[in-house]
Amino acid sequence: MEALRVQLLAEKSEISVPSQYVQPPETRPQIEKTNVKSAVPVIDLSSRTNLLDELKKACREWGVFQVINHKVPISLLDDIMRVGRTFFGGCEMEEKLKYSCDSASPASEGYGSRMLVASNETVLDWRDYFDHHTLPLSRRNPSHWPDSPADYRKVVAEYSDHMKALAQELLGLVSESLDLTCQCIENVVGEFYQNITISYYPPCPQPELTLGLQSHSDFGVITLLIQDDVGGLEVFNNGEWVSVNPMSNAICVILADQTEIITNGEYKSAQHRAVTNAGRSRLSVATFHDPAKTRQISPAFHPPRYRPVIYGDHVSSWYTKGPEGKRNLDALLL
């Protein structure tokens, strides 16, 4: 059964959250212990001085970094946030539900609230989302997307193209930072399968008990994320949760599981989560770049530390078992 839209729950102004959203004690966010002083690396893509060294350090030590001067038009970043907020905040629920995704099919396109395969034990995230299938072009059908505001579909399509170009540039730099050819990682991955997920996190009456998005590592190759000024993205680093502070006009780059495999563990996929707050709604836009489900992914170095994996098998495991932090990768270690 499809989960109730979190936005509707939040609008009821209850003083407590329903039990299915309450995290077990060991995974609840301890806001007072979140490290807000350690800074996720920021890399200026316009400065080629020491760029590869900075990138290597960020990938080895964090698996996540923010990029500035990335050539994506700032007006486009503003536009994608605007159309997303208009859909979640400006459309009646009846209109939004016309775009509901198939709750029985993981990662189906459309408007939803539950990502994982349903089970009685599944703790739900305090989040609604709209997932767009954007690449390859054979998957892109703008008629599946909202038509209000009037430029919604145009903005998403243009954003998709810019994110693809940036992902290609970044994977080229990641390859070069390991003394691989520029095209090495992209050649292993093959054609990008890209999804753009706009996530809406309503205010939560008990943020200390819930998560907007549970701890996980992304299962694809590379994720490009922007967030509004509310904040809530956290990354696990050196045994503690660190806030990824919103930076105006920056794009957050998150390395995913397949990049860890291809780099033979030299670079780790980033374990991250989203926390909630009681006062303000939050919006983020994550653009995922993945291989085809039939693609076999294996390390580019010898001797390999990971078994080859058919990407679709890895995805099925993630959706069935749940992310469990990033435990699905452990089964591939040699």
**pLDDT tens per residue, range 111-126:** 999 766 555 467 899 9
119 touches 131 (CB < 8 A): no
pLDDT given for residue 36 in this prediction: 61
Residues ≥6 apart with Cβ < 8 Å to 246? 227, 228, 229, 230, 231
Q: Is the pLDDT of residue 285 over 70?
A: yes
Handedness of CA 313, 317, 320, 325 (dihedral sign): negative
Please, which pLDDT band fits residue 149 given cuts at 50, 70 and 90? very high
pLDDT > 60? residue 323: yes
Does 314 have pLDDT greater than 50?
A: yes
pLDDT at site 103: 72
pLDDT exceeds 50 at position 208: yes
Mean pLDDT, all residues of the chain: 92
More confident residue, 107 or 278: 278
Q: At residue 2, does pLDDT exceed 90?
A: no
Please state the rounded mean pLDDT for residues 121-138: 94
Tokens 């209850």 belong to 14
In this predicted model, which residue has the larger pLDDT, 328 or 153? 153
- State the pLDDT at residue 95: 95
DSSP secondary structure letter of residue 247:
-
Residues in the chain: 334
Taking 80 as the threshold, does the pLDDT of residue 38 lie above it? no
**pTM score:** 0.95
Q: What's the N-to-C CA distance of the chain in angstroms?
A: 39
